[in-house]
Structure 1
Amino acid sequence: MLLRAFLNQSVSYTLAGLYTLLWILPCVRSKTPDVDVMCIYSEDCILPCSFTPTDDAVVIQWYQQEKLIYSFRQDEEEPDDSSMSLFTDEVSKGNASLLLKDSSVQSRGRYKCVINATNAVKESFVILKVEAPISRISIEASATGQLQCSSHGLYPSPLLTWSTDPSTGNLQSRTRMSADSNGLYSVESTLQKVNKSSPITYICTVTSKYSSQSWKASLLQTEMVGKNGQELVIPCMAPKNLKNFTLTWTFTKKNKNKDILTYHSQTHKVMNQWEEEAELDLDKAQSGDGSLYLDDNEVSRHAGKYTCTFSGPRVTYIVQTSVTVSASSAAAQKEQSNSKLWVLAVVVAALAVLGVLYYLYRKYGGNPKASEEDTEMQAVKGKTEELPAEIRPLNGKGDS
């Protein structure tokens, strides 16, 4: 009897355990591997999540760092949230993806999607990264002989490096990183120029951490001397293999900047504001030769700093050329100006003499009658008036 009772009890426990196990198995949480997603700062972003469709209503929950941020029941209306939403029309098809609107630096982190069905719970995880990519990089030279390179509005903090062409070895630079109220970084770096007699191209490279995106800005500074009577050609060559670029030329004199022209390689269009003074060779420009051709009149007017800038995908290449006029050329131009003044003075004097002669001709040579009358008047004035004898005065003695 005791044995039978023990066996019956054991069977009862076994059956209870089996029933419990069968009840628990459908409710076991299933997990999927983490999914990495990269979002662009200030743009909308989709966090993927899917499940096997069922006839029963499901509850979809999204967590960020274990904090519930969104919950939706299939048979209810979607919550009114301006920052995130589901694709409710596709939930019945098994799409539980979350749409994040206007992503920010604070959007990054680990997200969990939980699908609560009648007999199952499914979890999936998304690792979200946010990147504010490089959109612009600038390089310029200061009056103190230093170079400055900068880029702004980046996330995460980028890497900035300097190099030269040709290579000059050790470079002395100072780089500063700062973040604004939105968590976006600005990087600024200052480099001391190398003392070399030959021209050197300085290259600043900014690289992002997530996508290994790199932008380059280069600066080459040169000098040239112009001569009067000779065409002035300021050279500027694009980097190798640069396609779809924009070329701009500007002129600086006495701290005043003037736009010269802009050329677009895709459209072959030129906007020239110095049409009568400067031009490009369009055939050469298409292949990357952006040399500027200036007229040969009064070269001294063209003295100043010319900046040529090639802008392409992730590349900015700048050539600054300081143009001066040789002393002999300036003296020759001054002598030429003085000669022009002497010629002008002689012409004015000749015109004055001709004017006087013409006046005299009109007055005397062109009116003979008037000349005769003047002559007669002068003759009358020249005679001595003599009284008749009858009225001569007596000499004081009596008549004899």
Structure 2
Amino acid sequence: MKTQKTLPFLILLFELFTLSGLTEVTGRFAEDCVLPCSFPPGEDEAIHWKHGTTNVHSYYFKQDQLSQQNPGYQSRTALFHEEIPKGNASLKLHSLRLNDSGSYHCYVGTKSDKTDKYVTLKIAVLPYYTMEYENKDTIRLLKCYAFHIYPEPKYYLNITWGDDNKPIQTTKMSISQDGPFFSVRSDQNITNPNSSYQCNIQNSYLNQTWTAEWKTEGSLSSEEGTMISIPCTSAEVCNDTKELIITWKKVDSASVGLEEINQRNYSLTLRDLTQSDNGEYLCNISTPHCTQITVRYLHVEKRNKDIDIWIIALTLLLLVVIILISILSFLRKWKEREFSTDEREREPLPSG
């Protein structure tokens, strides 16, 4: 529960559209997709799929012919055999790789016809968006990230900021690369802690919009040794309960230890408070399309030692009183028994 999980933005498995005879398919990295190809049904079908000049998959004599298949596609291609007599030569491509992108040629020949189709495959990598809050000395900073981006996001990904939903000047985005993947970052200083700040990420390549909001709520206070529940409310836009992830952390530490999180209202319960519990607490509510960060300050007051001494003294006094009452009660009952015994001994014996 401590580690903020990061939650990825969902995208379609593939997007298909046809324009002037050109078919484009967007497939998700490491998953499967289908390259469509239809033809007029006929006898003795011969099907050849190529990626540029690379042999991807061949079919004739009523069976797959893979002796000339490029090793990079081995065990990753399949036709829908039961659909071929119906005019369907679509190719299923498994476990998409980045170098699978590009133009594919589908050729189908029958006794009566020939068909050529071209499909452009685009590979989409599932990105991950997040916002981080940092409070060092007197500087409060928000960082908005887009991770695992492909291809290079320079021309299609944009990060903007808002203050109480009003646009503000945006700092320059920084782009870094790790292997084939890119990361994008934008920072924003918090100049007014009483305002809410919004980070908006637009990814036109995947037609995605992601929003994060940061805000503070009223501070809380309690005494040492007591228990407190810190509330966290979710904005309506982040109320997708099916994919909701709640994370609590203390701003100046990696995580909160031994917490109890109420799954109904997302509140955090801390027990047996100490001075080390002083500080800012961050509640992160995340769904695939948004993140909401709420910060509350907790002040733990020192317990009044004089009051503690009086409580101890009164407790001891009460204990002494209880003991005295018990002793007096015992003595009274003992005397009553002695008196009863003496009375019986004084009674005259009955005459014979």
| TM-score (normalised: structure 1) | 0.61
2:294 is matched with: 319
1:344 and 1:54 map into 2 onto residues whose CA distance is: 99
Give, in angstroms, the shift of residue 317 of structure 1: 0.7
For residue 193 of structure 1, the aligned residue among 180, 189, 196 is 189
Match of 1:101 in 2: 94
Take 2:113 and 2:235, find their aligned partners in 1: how far apart are those partners? 60
Distance in 2 between residues matched to 1:114 and 1:298, nearest whole Å: 73
Matched residue, 1:70: 57
- Does structure 1 retain, via aligned residues, the 8 Å contact 2:196–2:214? yes
Per-residue Cα deviation, 1:256-305 (whole angstroms, up to 9, x for no partner): 51333152xxxxxx4xxxxxxxxx4xxxxxxxxx6x48799979786443
Bigger Rg over Cα: 1
Once the two structures are superposed, the pairs formed by residues 299-314 of structure 1 within 5 Å of their partners are 303-314=278-289
Residue matched to 2:168: 169
CA distance in 2, matches of 1:241, 1:254: 28
User: Bigger CA drift: 337-346 or 91-100?
Assistant: 337-346
- Deviation of 1:133 (Å): 2.9
Q: Cα distance 1:72–1:340, how it changes in 2: closer, same or farther (>3 A)?
A: same
- Paired residue for 2:4? none
User: Could you tell me how far apart the structure 2 residues matched to 1:293 and 1:82 are?
Assistant: 50
**Equivalent residue number for residue 238 of structure 1:** 234
Q: Matched residue pairs, number? A: 297
Deviations 1:287-337 (A, max 9, x none): xxx6x4879997978644332232234111110211114xxx646x44422
1:334-353 → structure 2 map (5 Å cutoff): 334-344=305-315, 346=317, 350=320
How many angstroms apart in 2 are the aligned matches of 1:40 and 1:110? 16
Structure 1 vs Structure 2 CA RMSD:
4.1
Query: Which stretch shows the higher mean deviation, 77-86 or 57-66?
Result: 77-86
Quote the offset at 1:173 in angstroms.
4.8
Q: What is the identity, as a one-letter code, of the residue corresponding to 2:101?
A: R
Tell me what 2:205 maps to: 210
On the 8 A contact 1:306/1:323 being kept in 2, the answer is yes
**What is the SS of the residue equivalent to 1:60?**
strand
The structural deviation recorded for 1:33 is 1.4
Q: Which ranges in structure 1 are unaligned for 5 or more consecutive residues?
A: 1-31, 264-269, 271-279, 281-289, 362-400
Correspondence for 1:261:
261
SS of match in other structure, 2:85:
helix
Q: Which structure has the highest helix share of the two?
A: 1
Q: What amino acid does structure 2 have at the position aligned with 1:140?
A: E
One-letter identity of the residue aligned with 1:48: P
Greater strand proportion: 2
For CA contacts below 8 A with separation 6 or more, give which structure has more relative contact order: 2
Q: What is aligned with 1:184?
A: 181
Structure 1 residues 309, 194: closer, same or farther in 2, change over 3 A?
Answer: closer
Contact 2:252–2:280 (Cα < 8 Å) also in 1? no
Change (3 A) 1:48 1:236: same
